[in-house]
Structure 1
Amino acid sequence: MAKFGKFASERTRLDDFVVGQRYTSSQLVIFAELYDNRSGGILLIGNPPKPQAVFVKATFSGGKYPNKWISEPDRLKYYLKSRNAVFSETYIENAAIIKNPDLPVFVFHRLEERQPFTFAGQFRAERVVSEADGSKWFDLVQSSVISPTNRVDEGELRRTFAQKVANAVQTSREARLNRLKSAPKRPPTVATTAIAYLRNPDVVAEVLYRSQGVCEGCGMNAPFDRKSDGSPYLEVHHKMHLSEGGEDTVENAIAICPNCHRREHFGTRTWQ
């Protein structure tokens, strides 16, 4: 954890996972900051008792549990974590799902061991079912049906939202407050598509080392230290963005403070 903790801000985001794409067990445990393929089939993303999300890795043939589709691909029979054949609902991983009914459950499945996992989407735990032999399983139901016809491009979603914010700023405050009175308190959800770049961690490490804790944009010291290991907090940014064809190299990367990083993305860019 100490070895990789300083790069936590550079990792893939939850909304970067794409339905239908394949991911190795190593990629999933690294995202969960566990770094051990023996971590089990339920991976908490964030700290219990209220993690941000949970990953479940379902193996259908040759695995520890007889997980299977109840109705493919939107309803899954997935066994609780057990120790010595005891399926206790108080185990941290099980309790996190049971006690947080709105917790998004990211389902990754494969037919056999040693195969990569395919991401099936976000599910919710509908109930816990107990069998006569003492085993217990989650009835996982897909939160929403996700298909190529109703997925929204994430970049377009952000651009549309930015335009809506600009429009809201231009309206009168009275009109805005009136809309807020009847606005729903919980936002609706939508499935998005996103492209994630598998960045080279050595580039991040070398650029951070080069900076020696000083922002390569404004020349100021890092604004604070990382809680994980006490190292200066700077973010590695590509001068020519990867989405623009930029290279994932030390020469194309800089270590900058969060303020300079936001400017590069939302203000006047220093590097092109």
Structure 2
Amino acid sequence: MPSYDFKVGHKYTRADVYRVCGVPLAKQKGEWHTGYRVYEGRHFIFCNIGGAGRTGDDHGNYFINEDLLWHGKAKSHIGQKSIINLTAADSEVFVFYRSNDRDPFTFAGLGKPETVRNTQPVEVLWSFTNIEESVRLPEEVSEQETFTEGAVKTITINAYERDPEARQKCVDHYGYVCVVCSFEFEKIYGELGKNFIHVHHLKPLGEIGKAYEVDPVKDLRPVCPNCHAMLHRKKTALSIEELKKHLKNK
């Protein structure tokens, strides 16, 4: 069974999903537009958050912290085969959501059913156990120059370009020291760690979805991989200041 390389927090149209999954034209649309479906043994959920979808129905889906409270189709119940399979412990469930019915979907992650309520429609609380594993931690990242970043390349998914020159401008300005915890690789690892650092976008490229002008000094910051992972620990990335405060409190 092929693996599907979706990235948590990145945006995808249904056409993007078809490309990633290799769905042939004859099998596109149809059930893909009904809210949830199975393809090659995997389950896919497409839902609206905080409003009605294109059919005009508002199923009352919303996030509770990092979990998603989701409702099935109007007549769904826990005895339906589709719901039984969807909520089975070994099912692989790809969950996508959006708040506007004309927008692309955001990939929430692989869903795990925490609770399934015997209501009609069925109500499921999904948690996402793979968030920290699936978030891409890019090694993107002076003069007040600007560079165009984020232009979409169509490969099998939409990948966001990162300008290496912008990255270099960032570290030329701030140095190879983590702005959160002050870790410096060269001091600990010597020559092996020289000139190594991750660079963090203050506004994640996956949330922008189009090309934009990035200022290497204003928009980028050097961070160590540990702090970079913690900045992206939640769906909405923490700010540098929030993570610094968290470290100070601990």
Fold equivalence (TM over 0.5): no
Structure of greater relative contact order (alpha carbons < 8 Å, 6+ residues apart): 2
TM-score of the two chains, using structure 1 as the length reference: 0.42
